[in-house]
Chains A and B, each alone.
Chain A
Amino acid sequence: MKRITVFLILTVLLLTSVSMLGAQEMVYNQAPMLDSMDLPPVAERLPLEPLVVEPHDRIGVYGGTWHMGLRGGNDGALLVRTLGNEGLVRWNLEWTEVIPNVASSWEASPDGTEYTFFLREGMKWSDGMPFTAHDITFWYEAHATNPEISPAPPNWMVSGGQIGTVEALDDYTVKFTFAAPNGLFLQRLATPDGNILTRMPRHYAEQFHPAYNPDGIDALVEEAGLGTWVDLWSQKVSDEWYTPKPTINAWVLESGQGASATQVTAVRNPYYWKVDPEGNQYPYIDYVQLDAGNDTETLVLRALNGEIDMMDRHIASLSNKAVFFDNMEAGGYHFYEVVPSSMNSMIIALNLTHQDPVMREIFQNKDFRIGLSYAINRQELIDLVLVGQGEPYQAAPRPSSPFYNERLAKQYTEYNVELANQHLDAAGYTERDGEGFRLGPDGNRITFTVDTQTIGLDWIDMLELITGYWQEVGIDARANVIDRSILYDRKDANQQDAVIWGGDGGLDVILEPRWYFPYSGESNFAPLWRYWYQGDARGEQPPEAAQRQMDLYDQLKATADPDEQAALMHEILEIAADEFYVIGISLPAPGYGIVKNNFFNVPESMPGAWLYPNPSPANPFQFFIEGEA
């Protein structure tokens, strides 16, 4: 029965595409490497309305291989950022707007409960099978709502406490309906979260699912030597980079990643559905090749040697910049700028919901936190540890963000021991013990540990200096360098005094507000308040200001109007400035990436984040290689 439907769809598609051929005005061109292959003509491979993308600089030439370095055999995040991330919608280069991608357009109901996406008629998977709305409903039925694969639905599909529904109105129209407004749905779809919808080729994936292949699934699991069909599903279908399979990405995997992979290669997708303004089918580059290095230094050496064409991940650390600069001419590359979404090199989060009531009282005292902040010589930290790159900054949106809030960013960043002592005195801890350390409300010395993970070398160095500054004002804090998983263990059990982490949410302010109010498990300053927000039984009712912020954020999620969202976010940030939850150190300077001199159409600057998975929004499919470096 199913086969017949597929067959019917196919026939209809074929007929429509043939009948439309006469009406084609645009002449499409393909890469020379496809000429010798046994493929239908390029116009038939493209959808009726391919996505026309302006190249960044100029129309390119076909050919070449894009070389990159993979860290370890398993580096899915790099692959998503460069080869993948073809969701229904995507970010524009500036990260200010959601723009069409797989969906040629969409309609959202004003209350944000219904979203209808219009797909591209005639669009195909890399094996030539049609890509339709039924592939997206397949994701919903087989993957997102299957209790064995997805014990919890993805949080961006949940609104009003229940998962939204997805239905195919016809082959090229798909509608999402939510019980309550889901105001951030489009933005969420533009992040890497959203691309799972468009990488479940139904015709291929059905065989790995017991609901669709009840008779054959056991044999397949057995054959792969795996324990359960869920393992097989993740290996064959949901893990995008493990095994080659039909895709809508610009390049198709030839060999996937894995424990023993030393190289990942991909070749152009002859059915890619984007063209340049002259009708040349993207991508310009024929092959992508990523060679694995177990160690970052190996990748750095390769990049210095000119063996990496364009990359920033892993290699472009602050401390490597000088080496890359010195070697620019010999290596035949130059820099592009990556503006990090991170707004702080290091954030110290005292645990405001500490399990010990005495510590809790001390940490919740705002004057205490202000005193600690004034006691830190941020400029010295920047000069000594951060090689002079940065400016004193609290946990606040970056200056280039529309949410920039000067009070939040700059308050208490001055280095002033006198003011620090004044605030600590005002906090009520004027008594000192024999060694000059302040005494807490219970008459014992105020002493606490600051947890930091072993791999953040800068953090360890800065923390050593900071505990020194705090000793000057009579506070006995100690660094506790531990493994990352132990750090998370302690956090989950609410055992930490204070934790060091990076400053996410400098540009992706609305999507990642972890430092502005107790929002997620990464809001290290108040584990119990965020449990409360998420309805977890371990939670405790937060103070009024935090509750107000949570309330505002719920309102924000319930509206689809970007202006109203912005107004609400501003209000949340104002409250964050009043509350001063965490202590920031320095605004990270722009990062960089390297690009070979014969590698073109790479923007001079782009944001860098996980939610904006750079360089993917800069459209790697329009990069091209011409001449020698």
Chain B
Amino acid sequence: MAQFIIRRLFLMIPTMFAVSIVAFIIIQLPPGDFLTSYVANISAAGETVEQEVIEALNRRFGLDQPIYVQYLKWITNIITKGDFGQSFEFNTPVDQLIWERMALTVVLSFATLIFTWIIAFPIGILSAVRQYSIGDYVATFFGFLGLAIPDFLLALVLMYIAFKYFNQSVGGLFSPDYVNAPWSMEKVLDLVSHLWIPMIILGTSGTASLIRVMRANLLDELRKPYVRTARAKGLPEWKVILKYPVRVALNPFVSTAGWLLPGLVSGSIIVAVVLSLPTTGPLLLRSLTSQDMYLAGAFILLLSVLTLFGTLISDIILAWLDPRIRYE
């Protein structure tokens, strides 16, 4: 096991390098650079920028150098100093910007995940065990509905309902009074009272698909002979179901659990924009549209690291959960 993990970790290093190069090239692909989008933005507001100023900024940001020089400088600073560079737009170190938003992003993502699992697993099991019952049909109905409705649309509709019938504005994770307040018990409660809306919106499609997957997997297992054997031997019904078929049905979840980690950072961008959530998604989007190179680069790097680690973790859990799976 230990050898397996070490080998995997070792393999990650060249992968990371490859990813960083691809990421850097992709960011450079669109025509223009940060300065063109910066100048375009300023001009749209009616201001003008002198040509000399643009050239000086070009030199200051190092945008006048060839792409491989820019890349080498960037990657060297990351490896030797852990310095991810500076955001052009916000004039602030990149890591500072990302970490500021990270905590709330993780809280929201985990809350959503737990919400999804708490709702989806029992319903999924129930609708498989009681296939074609009324409960199964209701779950299926809402499941397909949840799958079909884009979550940003749900966000917009919920916002409108909250405005129209409850006279309340939705958006953000805090009431205005608490936004800049230091952390306190009241602020945490305020967060909790705002968290449930994005949590439900983000959770619906996940819940729906999870119910469907759980149901399908479990139905496959329930018909297998070992289940009948277990019943014949007189095991209690709940134990028959939970101990063996459910455990096997969990495999597909575990092997996709690795994708949850990058989802923490980049998932739900549109919903976060619509709901004005102070999470990393909108920042990532903005860095890409304004071609804020190092900020976008750091995000993509972070995403790929998380994907690599996520895959490793899900492999490990899978091996642990299902002894039939070997390391070789």
Binding site for B on A (CB under 8 A): 67, 72, 74, 77, 150-152, 155, 225-228, 230-231, 234-235, 239, 242, 254-255, 258-260, 262-263, 265, 289, 291-295, 297-298, 301-302, 304-305, 307, 483-489, 492, 504, 512, 520-522, 536, 609-611
- Minimum CB–CB distance for B150 against chain A, Å: 15
Given the interface pairs A152-B52, A294-B273, A297-B156, the reply to whether A259 lies near B291 with Cβ below 8 Å is no
Instruction: State in angstroms the CA–CA spacing of A231 and B294 once bound together.
Output: 15
Instruction: State in angstroms the CA–CA spacing of A177 and B164 once bound together.
Output: 60
Instruction: State in angstroms the CA–CA spacing of A487 and B43 once bound together.
Output: 12
- Which of B53, B179, B283 is the most central at the interface, judged by chain A CB atoms within 10 Å of its CB? B179
Contact yes or no, A260 B86, CB < 8 A: no
- Minimum CB–CB distance for B191 against chain A, Å: 12
Contact yes or no, B180 A254, CB < 8 A: yes
B169 proximal to A (CB < 8 A)? yes
B100 proximal to A (CB < 8 A)? yes
Contacting residues, chain A, for B39 (C-beta < 8 A): 488
B6-53 interface with A by 8 A CB criterion: 30-32, 36-37, 39-41, 43-48, 50-53
Contact yes or no, A485 B276, CB < 8 A: no
Instruction: State in angstroms the CA–CA spacing of A512 and B32 once bound together.
Output: 27
Contact yes or no, B31 A489, CB < 8 A: yes
Contact yes or no, A302 B32, CB < 8 A: no
Cβ-closest chain A residue relative to B168? A305
Given the interface pairs A242-B91, A609-B46, the reply to whether A291 lies near B179 with Cβ below 8 Å is yes
Contact yes or no, B40 A536, CB < 8 A: no
Given the interface pairs A294-B272, A297-B156, A521-B43, the reply to whether A488 lies near B32 with Cβ below 8 Å is yes
Contact yes or no, A231 B278, CB < 8 A: no
B174 proximal to A (CB < 8 A)? yes
User: Which single member of A263, A294, A521 contacts B282 (CB below 8 Å)?
Assistant: A294
Instruction: State in angstroms the CA–CA spacing of A488 and B32 once bound together.
Output: 9
Contacting residues, chain A, for B32 (C-beta < 8 A): 485-486, 488-489
B72 proximal to A (CB < 8 A)? no
Cβ-closest chain A residue relative to B281? A294
Contacting residues, chain B, for A258 (C-beta < 8 A): 90, 92
- Minimum CB–CB distance for A84 against chain B, Å: 15
B187 proximal to A (CB < 8 A)? no
Contact yes or no, B276 A259, CB < 8 A: no
Contacting residues, chain B, for A255 (C-beta < 8 A): 180
Contact yes or no, A304 B51, CB < 8 A: no
B57-104 interface with A by 8 A CB criterion: 60, 86-87, 89-93, 96-97, 100-101
Given the interface pairs A152-B50, A297-B274, the reply to whether A260 lies near B91 with Cβ below 8 Å is no
- Minimum CB–CB distance for B30 against chain A, Å: 8
Contact yes or no, A298 B274, CB < 8 A: yes
**Can you offer 26 A-B residue contacts whose CB atoms are under 8 A?**
A67-B176, A152-B51, A155-B50, A225-B93, A230-B60, A231-B86, A239-B91, A259-B89, A260-B97, A260-B278, A293-B276, A294-B277, A301-B169, A302-B169, A305-B169, A484-B44, A485-B40, A486-B30, A486-B32, A488-B36, A489-B31, A492-B36, A520-B48, A610-B46, A610-B47, A611-B46
- Minimum CB–CB distance for B207 against chain A, Å: 25
B171 proximal to A (CB < 8 A)? yes
Contact yes or no, B92 A235, CB < 8 A: yes
B 161-187 binary contact with A (CB < 8 Å = 1; else 0) = 001000111111010100110000000
User: Which single member of B37, B101, B274 contacts A295 (CB below 8 Å)?
Assistant: B274
Contact yes or no, B36 A489, CB < 8 A: yes
Given the interface pairs A298-B276, A301-B159, the reply to whether A152 lies near B53 with Cβ below 8 Å is yes
Contacting residues, chain B, for A74 (C-beta < 8 A): 89-90
Instruction: State in angstroms the CA–CA spacing of A293 and B43 once bound together.
Output: 23
| A486-B32, A610-B47 given; 10 more Cβ-contact pairs under 8 Å | A150-B53, A226-B93, A228-B60, A260-B283, A262-B172, A262-B174, A294-B277, A298-B275, A485-B32, A486-B30
Contact yes or no, A302 B60, CB < 8 A: no
Contacting residues, chain B, for A263 (C-beta < 8 A): 176, 179-180
Contacting residues, chain B, for A294 (C-beta < 8 A): 272-274, 276-277, 282
Binding site for A on B (CB under 8 A): 30-32, 36-37, 39-41, 43-48, 50-53, 55-56, 60, 86-87, 89-93, 96-97, 100-101, 156, 159-160, 163, 167-172, 174, 176, 179-180, 272-278, 282-283, 286, 291
Contact yes or no, B176 A291, CB < 8 A: yes
User: Which single member of B91, B275, B286 contacts A234 (CB below 8 Å)?
Assistant: B91
Contacting residues, chain A, for B44 (C-beta < 8 A): 484
Instruction: State in angstroms the CA–CA spacing of A611 and B46 once bound together.
Output: 8
Contact yes or no, B43 A522, CB < 8 A: yes
- Minimum CB–CB distance for A461 against chain B, Å: 19
Cβ-closest chain A residue relative to B33? A485
- Minimum CB–CB distance for B151 against chain A, Å: 14
Instruction: State in angstroms the CA–CA spacing of A298 and B291 once bound together.
Output: 25
Given the interface pairs A259-B283, A262-B276, A297-B274, the reply to whether A151 lies near B37 with Cβ below 8 Å is no
Instruction: State in angstroms the CA–CA spacing of A229 and B92 once bound together.
Output: 12
Contact yes or no, B282 A487, CB < 8 A: no
- Which of A486, A487, A520 is the most central at the interface, judged by chain B CB atoms within 10 Å of its CB? A486
Contacting residues, chain B, for A230 (C-beta < 8 A): 60
Contact yes or no, A302 B171, CB < 8 A: yes
- Minimum CB–CB distance for A500 against chain B, Å: 13
- Minimum CB–CB distance for A50 against chain B, Å: 31
Instruction: State in angstroms the CA–CA spacing of A152 and B160 once bound together.
Output: 49
Instruction: State in angstroms the CA–CA spacing of A295 and B270 once bound together.
Output: 10
Contacting residues, chain B, for A231 (C-beta < 8 A): 86, 91
Contact yes or no, B45 A151, CB < 8 A: no
Given the interface pairs A258-B92, A302-B171, the reply to whether A151 lies near B43 with Cβ below 8 Å is no
- Minimum CB–CB distance for B61 against chain A, Å: 9
Contact yes or no, B172 A485, CB < 8 A: no
Contacting residues, chain A, for B93 (C-beta < 8 A): 225-226
User: Which single member of B92, B163, B176 contacts A305 (CB below 8 Å)?
Assistant: B163
- Minimum CB–CB distance for A87 against chain B, Å: 15
Contact yes or no, A292 B276, CB < 8 A: yes
Instruction: State in angstroms the CA–CA spacing of A317 and B46 once bound together.
Output: 18
Instruction: State in angstroms the CA–CA spacing of A228 and B91 once bound together.
Output: 11
Cβ-closest chain B residue relative to A158? B50
Instruction: State in angstroms the CA–CA spacing of A307 and B177 once bound together.
Output: 13
- Which of A225, A259, A262, A292 is the most central at the interface, judged by chain B CB atoms within 10 Å of its CB? A259
Given the interface pairs A298-B275, A302-B169, A611-B46, the reply to whether A488 lies near B40 with Cβ below 8 Å is yes
Contacting residues, chain A, for B60 (C-beta < 8 A): 228, 230
Instruction: State in angstroms the CA–CA spacing of A259 and B295 once bound together.
Output: 11
Contacting residues, chain A, for B170 (C-beta < 8 A): 301
Given the interface pairs A225-B93, A234-B91, the reply to whether A488 lies near B43 with Cβ below 8 Å is yes
Contacting residues, chain B, for A492 (C-beta < 8 A): 36
Given the interface pairs A72-B286, A259-B283, A488-B40, the reply to whether A291 lies near B172 with Cβ below 8 Å is yes
Contact yes or no, A151 B53, CB < 8 A: yes
Cβ-closest chain B residue relative to A65? B176
Contacting residues, chain A, for B47 (C-beta < 8 A): 610
Given the interface pairs A262-B174, A305-B163, the reply to whether A151 lies near B286 with Cβ below 8 Å is no
Contacting residues, chain A, for B275 (C-beta < 8 A): 298
Instruction: State in angstroms the CA–CA spacing of A483 and B44 once bound together.
Output: 13
Contact yes or no, B50 A610, CB < 8 A: no
- Which of A150, A305, A483, A488 is the most central at the interface, judged by chain B CB atoms within 10 Å of its CB? A488
Contacting residues, chain B, for A242 (C-beta < 8 A): 91
- Minimum CB–CB distance for A396 against chain B, Å: 18
Instruction: State in angstroms the CA–CA spacing of A228 and B93 once bound together.
Output: 12
Contact yes or no, A305 B100, CB < 8 A: no
Given the interface pairs A226-B86, A304-B163, A488-B32, the reply to whether A293 lies near B48 with Cβ below 8 Å is no
Instruction: State in angstroms the CA–CA spacing of A263 and B179 once bound together.
Output: 7
- Minimum CB–CB distance for A345 against chain B, Å: 15
Cβ-closest chain B residue relative to A455? B44
- Which of A239, A295, A522, A609 is the most central at the interface, judged by chain B CB atoms within 10 Å of its CB? A295
- Minimum CB–CB distance for B43 against chain A, Å: 6
Contact yes or no, A301 B276, CB < 8 A: no
Instruction: State in angstroms the CA–CA spacing of A368 and B87 once bound together.
Output: 48
User: Which single member of B40, B90, B167 contacts A259 (CB below 8 Å)?
Assistant: B90
Contacting residues, chain B, for A504 (C-beta < 8 A): 46
